[in-house]
Amino acid sequence: MMKINQKISNFNSKNPLPIDECIEKVLYDQKSGYYTNKDPFGENGDFITSPTISNLFSEIIAIWLISTWEKMSKPKIFNFVELGPGDGSLSKVIVNTFKRFPEINKATNIYLYEKSNFLIKLQKKKINNKKVKWIKNLNSIKNGPVIFFGNEFFDAIPIKQFTKRRNTFFEKYFNLENKENISEIFIKGSNQDIIQIKSFETLKKLTFIEYPKKGFLELSKIIKKISELSGGILLIDYGYLSSHNSNTLQAVMGNKKISIEKMFNNIGKADVTSLVNFNLLKEFFVKNKLKVKNIVSQKFFLERMGIIERAQILEKKMTKKQKKYMSETLARLLEEKQMGKLFKVIFGYKYKNNDFFGFE
Ligand SMILES: C[S@@+](CC[C@H](N)C(=O)[O-])C[C@H]1O[C@@H](n2cnc3c(N)ncnc32)[C@H](O)[C@@H]1O
């Protein structure tokens, strides 16, 4: 059995870690982190995301961006930031689609915001275009409205978990009891975290709370930029509208769910995510003075943006085999039992108009 403490620094029986700190190390440790060592995407990876299922998904995001730029009266400088671009599939399609629309192409700066140096290398190989810049902070975005987009970005940022017993909050930690055994322990939560949690109406009645503290820190930087320049943030992720006190932490390896224990025995080989609480996200956006469109399902959004019509056009030039493949991938994106319903779309924005496409 693997000696877990050799893989995660400062993790030993005397130093239990809050689960977000522990998972951060599991995913991003320079030596053994999941995202610092391998390409997890696609059929042969650990999970399949919408941009790696079908270019149609990314084309629809490109069309949505063009429509948003038009709704903003075609600004001469327009910034697009992809958050957590993974293997670069989506931005590659955005770059190629924009080439066919010279006016927006000229106006747009494309930025990729990526934490993993390993994935940055992969993205640079895939997207060889001078327009695209890789950034680790948002300082270089200075003029023009800015649109942030993230597919499965927020769910990849580790969350905290708490239980509430008689109005006292206890935070979940992972504890390494000996060199091989991991247990969960609960320690009284910090005042600062409890104040934050209590400030959200969405979390008020819960006895088991998932709190995306790190995710909110990321969003705060993004919202500051949106407030400064105007624009918005479009997030697509798998999640729910209201929590039922459930533990949604899950590990995935080889396209299959595995237990958290098994994940600890496969550090660097398994991904850890959680479902996104969309009503909490909405409350966070509103608190930070963004306006929010209706939260809709991925199926609703992609269909409203014309994915079926786009597929019908492409179909005309396809072989039977290609048609079959496209209809299978489309079903994966849209069917309620697949990604259509569980995946949701939220748009928070600061702009004088409200009539952006896709949500009504
Ligand atoms: C689940 S993957 C999704 C990748 C891609 N968007 C897709 O749909 O295929 C999560 C991505 O977010 C990146 N990421 C996670 N946390 C991040 C952070 N705090 N800052 C920048 N990138 C981050 C990961 O390295 C990875 O590229």
Q: What is the CATH number of the domain that holds 48?
A: 3.40.50.12710
pLDDT at 180 (0 to 100) = 73
Beta bridge partners of 148: 81, 233
Tokens of 189: 């939560």
Cα 152 to ligand 1 centre (Å): 7
Examine residue 155 and state whether it is found in any structural domain, yes or no: yes
123 C-beta closer than 6 A to ligand 1? no
Examine residue 357 and state whether it is found in any structural domain, yes or no: no
158 C-beta closer than 6 A to ligand 1? no
41 C-beta closer than 6 A to ligand 1? yes
User: Of all atoms in ligand 1, which is nearest to the CA of residue 218?
Assistant: 19
153 C-beta closer than 6 A to ligand 1? yes
Helix (H) and strand (E) counts for the chain? 13, 17
115 C-beta closer than 6 A to ligand 1? yes
Three-state SS at 187: strand
Please report the DSSP string for 95-146 in residue order.
HHHHHT-HHHHHHEEEEEE-S-HHHHHHHHHH---TTEEEESSSTT--SS-E
pLDDT at 250 (0 to 100) = 94
Say what the alpha-carbon torsion angle 154, 326, 304, 57 is, to the nearest 10 degrees: 30
Pocket test for ligand 1, best of 23, 34, 114, 339 (most atoms within 8 A of CB): 114
Residue with tokens 């000696």: 3
55 C-beta closer than 6 A to ligand 1? no
pLDDT at 43 (0 to 100) = 66
Number of domains in the chain: 1
Pocket test for ligand 1, best of 57, 58, 115 (most atoms within 8 A of CB): 115
114 C-beta closer than 6 A to ligand 1? yes
Please report the DSSP string for 274-331 in residue order.
--EEHHHHHHHHHHTT-EEPPPEEHHHHHHHTTHHHHHHHHHTT--HHHHHHHHHHHH
Is 156 within 8 Å of 76 (Cβ atoms)?
Answer: no
243 C-beta closer than 6 A to ligand 1? no
Examine residue 149 and state whether it is found in any structural domain, yes or no: yes
Q: Which structural domain, as residue segments, surrounds residue 256?
A: 4-350
Among protein residues, the one whose CA lies closest to atom 16 of ligand 1: 157
Among protein residues, the one whose CA lies closest to atom 18 of ligand 1: 115
Q: How far is CA 93 from the centre of its chain?
A: 18
Examine residue 302 and state whether it is found in any structural domain, yes or no: yes
pLDDT at 41 (0 to 100) = 73
pLDDT at 1 (0 to 100) = 43
pLDDT tens, residue order, the chain (360 aa) = 445 656 787 887 788 999 999 999 999 887 778 888 767 776 667 778 999 999 999 999 999 999 999 999 999 999 999 999 999 999 999 999 999 999 999 999 999 999 999 999 999 999 989 999 999 999 999 999 999 999 999 999 999 999 999 999 999 999 988 777 888 999 999 999 999 999 999 999 999 999 999 999 999 999 999 999 999 999 999 999 999 899 999 999 888 899 988 888 888 888 999 999 999 999 999 999 999 999 999 999 999 999 999 999 999 999 999 999 999 999 999 999 999 999 999 999 999 999 999 999
Examine residue 285 and state whether it is found in any structural domain, yes or no: yes
